[in-house]
Amino acid sequence: MSLRELSRRSELSVSFLSRIENGTSIPTVMTLQKLCYALDIDMVDFLTSESSKKKRKFLFKRDDMKLVEGEGRHWYFTFPSESEFKVSQTYEEYEPFTSLLEKEKHPVDIFGFVISGQLSLKIGKDELFVKEGDAFYIPANQEHIASNQSKEVLKMIVGRVKDK
């Protein structure tokens, strides 16, 4: 795939992709997510070594989960990203007053449950406040901004149904 095609699919500039390719720029977690979606690669697969994908498991301990951190957010990928899994799930924590600077969108539906704290979701012109015990749903390809506008750590479970 050419950089121009990857740029079109990921909505990232060709010059920025070139800087990543040449090692002069380090992608953020959001940028990595966009690249994985554009390349049709699961982010857990991308970040997980082949040796850790050997045996099918039924119990997933926190110490074995893949942790990705960035921009005041922490993602624990709770399940391995194996082909027989039809869903993916993350346990996410947002530090107080964490807000993304860019809109994000996903090629699959996203749903979640707030364990503690309050999630602020901007979807179009609407701003939703998802409180402890509330659930949310975001359709595929819907641009949104997720943030934690409170002084408490936001903790939530987020799920995705894989489109493959």
Mapped onto helix, strand or coil, the DSSP state of residue 28 is coil
Residue 50: predicted pLDDT: 58
What CATH number does domain 56-161 carry, 2.60.120.10, 3.40.50.740, 2.40.30.10, 3.40.630.10? 2.60.120.10
Within the chain, which residue ranges are assigned CATH 2.60.120.10?
A: 56-161
* Residues comprising the chain, all counted: 164
Q: Is the dihedral of CA 76, 137, 34, 27 positive or negative?
A: negative
Residue-by-residue pLDDT tens, the chain, 164 positions: 888 888 888 888 889 888 888 888 888 878 888 888 888 887 777 776 555 555 666 788 888 888 888 888 888 888 776 556 778 889 999 999 987 767 888 888 999 999 999 999 998 889 999 999 999 999 999 999 999 989 999 999 999 887 65
The type of residue at 87 is V
Q: Output the six-digit token pair for 85.
A: 């899994």
Q: Kindly tell me the sign of the dihedral angle through the C-alpha atoms of 50, 45, 38, 86.
A: positive
